[in-house]
Chains A and B, each alone.
Chain A
Amino acid sequence: MNDTAIVLRARDISRAFPGVQALAGVELTLRAGEVHALMGQNGAGKSTLIKVLTGVYASDTGSIELLGQPVAPRSPLHAQELGISAVHQESHLLPNLSVAENICAGRYPHRPWLRGGGIDWRETNKRARELLAGLGIDLDVTQLAGGLPAALQQLATVARAVATDARVLILDEPTSSLDADEVKALFTLIRRLRDKGVAILFVTHFLDQVYEICDRITVLRNGRFVGEYACGKLDARGLIAAMVGRELVNAERPATHAAAGTGETPAVLAARNIARRGQLKPMDIELRAGEVLGLAGLLGSGRTELARLLFALDQRDSGEIFVDGKPARLEQPADALRLGLGFCPEDRKESGIVAELSVRENIALALQARMGLGSFLKPAAQRALAEKLVAALGVKTASIETPIAQLSGGNQQKAIIARWLATHPRVLILDEPTRGIDIAAKQELMNELLELANGGTAVLFISAEIEEVVRLSDRIMVLRDRAKAGELPRGADEDAVFSMIAGNS
C-alpha cells in the first residue's frame, strides 16, 4: 500500500491568527485512490488546514507538493486550476441562481464563436443534470437553488466539486444534512472517484462513516499533528484517545436525576393544536418542570419548526400556548423571555452569538433584554455574572472581555447556554446543542442539562443523534413528516425510536 502514488504532500504547515496559533507543524499525505479522513475536535485546525490547501489562506511555513511539484495556492480559483477541488463546511449555494448555474459557474460551456460565443444554456442544464444523476438525484435544474432543501443543496455542492477533473477532492462535513439514503448515494460516488484514482480528503464527526469509507486517518489536536493511522489498525477508542488525548469512558447517564413527576403536575409549558402552514401540522406538546423531553425525528420532520413556534420566533397560524395552565400571549421572543422561556438556536453563528461583542456582553444579553430599558445591569454586575457562569460551565476563554468570535464552536455554545442560565429559565429549549462539538464538551454539556432539569427547569432537547436523545430524556416525542408520530416513555431504546419514526408498517 505504501507504493500507492502520493498525490499531495503537505509538510510543516503553520498558520497564526491574532491571538491564536491555528496550525503548527502539520503534515498531511494524500495518496491516489484512497479516502483519507481528517479527524479532530473543534478547534483542532481541520477547517484551517483545508483553507490553506485551497488557497483561502497562505501557510506561514512549510511546503505543499502536488504530484511532486511544489505549489502554493493563492486563491480558491488557483487551487481549482491546480487540481484541488473542495466542498467547504460553510459553502452555500447562491440562492439567486439556478441549480445548473451553481454547478457549472465558472466553467460554462459556450456556443461556438460563429454562433455568438455566448453561454450555451441548454448544454449547461444538461451537464448539471448528468452530474446530479451521478448522485442519484433527479430534479429541475432550472429552479432557483434557494428553494432547495438543505440536503439537496449539500449534494449539489458535491456535484459541483466533482465536476472538475480534480486530482484531490476535499469534502468538509459533507453529510451533516443528509439522511441515510443520501449518505449511501454519496459514498457510492466517493468510491467511484476513489477507484478512478482521485485522492479524497474526508472530514466528518460521524465515527461510523469514517470506518465505513476511509482507508487512512490523520488526527489533529490543538492545531498540531498527532499521527497518521491506517483505518484497520486503529479502533474507535484509540481514535478518540488520539483526538482528545485521554481515554474517554462511555459515560453512563447519572442516576442522580430524580424521576419526573407524574402527569398530575400541570405542565409548565403546553401547546394545543399548534401549527404553521407548510412547516408544521397541528400537534400538542407538554413540558413539565424537572423533566427532559427529547424531540426525535429525521431531517425535515419539523423539530426545529416546533421549537421556533414555541419560542415565538415564527408566527403560528393556529393553536394556543399555555403557561402553568393559563393561556399566554406569545407573539415575539421578548414575550417568551418574559414568561421564563429560553432558546438555544440550531445555528449559533447565525442566530446565537453576536460576534463582535465580548463573552460578557453575550452572556448578559438575554437577562438585560428581559429587564428592559427601565433597569440597567451595570458592568460590574455583568462581570460578576459572566465570571460565575464561565466557571460553572467550563467555558475556555482568555477573559470574559474577549470577543466571542474568537472562541471555538463548543465554547461559544456553552456561552449561549450561559446566557439563558443567567435568566433562570423555567423552560429551556435547545436545538442541536451538541452539533459540531467535540466529545468531551458534549459530555459536559449533557451533564449540565441534567443538572438543570434536577433544579426544576423543563428542558426540551432536540438532537439528530438518537443515541443522545435516548440517553438524556425522560420522555421522547417523535416527529415524522412535520406531524407528531407519538411519544415514548423513559427507558425506550433506539430501536423503539427508529420504529416509531419509520411508522407502524
Chain B
Amino acid sequence: MNARRFARHTLFWPTMTLGLLLLVCELFSPSFLGIAWQDGHFYGNLVDILNRAAPLMIVSMGMTLVIAVRGLDISVGAVVAITATVAALMIGGSFSADGDATSRFPLWLAIITALGVAAACGVWNGLLVVKAGMQPIVATLILMVAGRGIAQLLTGGQIITVYYAPFYTLGNGFLLGIPVALWIAAALWGLLQLAVSRSALGLFIRAIGGNPEAARVAGVRSSAITLCVYTFCGLAAGVAGLIISSNVKSADANNAGQLLELDAILAVTLGGTALTGGRFTLAGTVIGALIIQTLTSMIYSLGVPPEVNLVVKAALVFAVMLLQSPEFRALVLRALRSSRTGNA
C-alpha cells in the first residue's frame, strides 16, 4: 500500500515532527511563519530558525558520518571553542587610530589557520581511534576535556572580542537575501550528498559501519576512510565555530559550543540514523537540527519560560526514540488490536 510505504520511509517521522512543531508555532503565534523582505534580505522567524540552526546542521552532518562508521565524536564543542579562539586571536581585537578595526593577520589566513587547527583536531581523534584502537567515546572524551582547557589557556579565560567588521559576515551577513551561514550549510550538504551518492564513499561508509571486519576483508581501506571521516567532523566543527563566533562577534572559550555535541548527536538520531552505525541519512540530520532549533524558537515565542526548553527537548527525544523503536510500535499495535477485538 502506498500510504504504508510512505510512512515507512526513513524521513517520514522527522518531517512529520518538524511540520507539527511549525504548525503549533503558527497556531499559537499567528504569522509566525511569515516571511518579509526587510533591509535588503529575507526577514522573519523562519529565517531566524534557519540561520541559527546552520552551525548545528554543519556539525551534525559531520557527526552523521562519524556515527555511521560506528564512531562518536563528543569533542566537537571543544573544537568549536578552539577554532573560535584561534581565529579571534589571529584577527585581534583592537581598534586602529582612526576608529577602524584592523586585523592582525589577513582574514583569509586567520580563517585557514583556524580551520586547519580544527581539521588537526579531527586527525588527532581519528588517529586515536584508528591507530591506537581506542573506543571513540574515550578517544574523543580526551579532547573534549583537555581541548576546552587548552582554549581557556590561550585566552586566559577572557572573552576575546573581535572588532574586524568583515569577519561578521559569516554569522550575520546575507547573500541574495539569504543568510551567509545558511549558504555555507547548504553548500556543505550539497557537496556531502554528492560525495556519498555519486561515489563509492557512501557504500564504503555503510559497509564499515555495518560490519567493520567484513569491510576490511573485502578490501575496503577502512582505516583511511575512518580517519577522513573524523577529520571532516573536526573540520565541520571548525566551520561551525567560525560562524558562531562571527555571530556573537567574540570568542568565549568557556562557553562556546557548550552541549553542542549532545545537540548534534540528538539531531542525528532524531533524523533517523541509528547509533549502531551502517545506514545513515544526511537529509534526516538536517531535519533533526531544524527540529531542535524550532523547538527553542517555539518555546521562546510562546512566552514560555526558557527553563522549560530542556524538559520539552527531553519529552521530544523520548517521543521520537519510542516511535523509532520497533518494540514500542509492536506494543502499541498489539494494544490497539486487542482493544478493537475487545470492543467487537
Contact = CB atoms under 8 A, between A and B. Distances in A.
A403 to B, nearest CB: 10
B206 interface: yes
A354 B207 contact: yes
B198 A376 contact: yes
Nearest to B224: A334
By CB atoms of chain B within 10 A, which of A338, A343, A368 has the most?
Answer: A368
Contacts of B219: 333-334, 336-338, 366, 369-370
A352 B217 contact: yes
A369 B218 contact: yes
Interface string B205-223: 0110011011111111101
A345 B216 CA distance: 11
Contacts, number: 79
Contacts of A345: 217
Query: For chain B, what secondary structure do more than half of its interface residues adopt (helix, strand, loop), or is it mixed?
Result: helix
Given A369-B204, A369-B221, A313 B216 contact: yes
B175 interface: no
Contacts of A476: none
A311 to B, nearest CB: 8
Given A334-B221, A366-B218, A373 B201 contact: yes
Nearest to A420: B218
Contacts of B220: 334, 365, 369
B199 interface: yes
A371 interface: yes
By CB atoms of chain B within 10 A, which of A343, A353, A354, A368 has the most?
Answer: A354
A354 B217 contact: no
Interface in A307-351: 311, 313, 332-334, 336-338, 343, 345, 350-351
Given A351-B214, A365-B215, A370-B219, A356 B200 contact: no
Interface string B272-305: 0000001100000000000000000000000000
Interface residues on B, range: 20 to 34
A421 to B, nearest CB: 13
A34 B201 CA distance: 56
A323 to B, nearest CB: 16
Interface residues of A, number: 31
B205 to A, nearest CB: 11
Contacts of A377: 200
B203 interface: yes
A355 B211 contact: yes
Interface string A14-45: 00000000000000000000000000000000
A350 B213 contact: yes
A312 B203 CA distance: 23
A62 interface: no
Given A354-B211, A355-B210, A368 B217 contact: no
A357 B277 CA distance: 12
A56 to B, nearest CB: 15
A419 interface: yes
By CB atoms of chain B within 10 A, which of A351, A355, A364 has the most?
Answer: A351
Interface string B186-210: 0000000000001111011011001
A376 B210 contact: no
A299 to B, nearest CB: 21
Contacts of B221: 332, 334, 369, 372
B192 to A, nearest CB: 14
Given A333-B216, A352-B217, A365 B203 contact: yes
B329 to A, nearest CB: 13
Contacts of B200: 368-369, 371-373, 376-377
A369 B207 CA distance: 11
Contacts of B223: 332
Contact of B217 (A338, A343, A371, A372): A343
A338 B204 CA distance: 17
Contact of A333 (B198, B206, B210, B217): B217
Nearest to B199: A376
Closest 5 CB pairs of A and B: A337-B219, A369-B219, A354-B210, A354-B211, A369-B220
Given A365-B215, A377-B200, 7 more contacts: A333-B218, A334-B220, A336-B219, A345-B217, A350-B214, A351-B213, A369-B221
Interface of B: 198-201, 203-204, 206-207, 210-211, 213-221, 223, 278-279
5 contacts: A334-B220, A351-B211, A356-B279, A361-B206, A373-B200
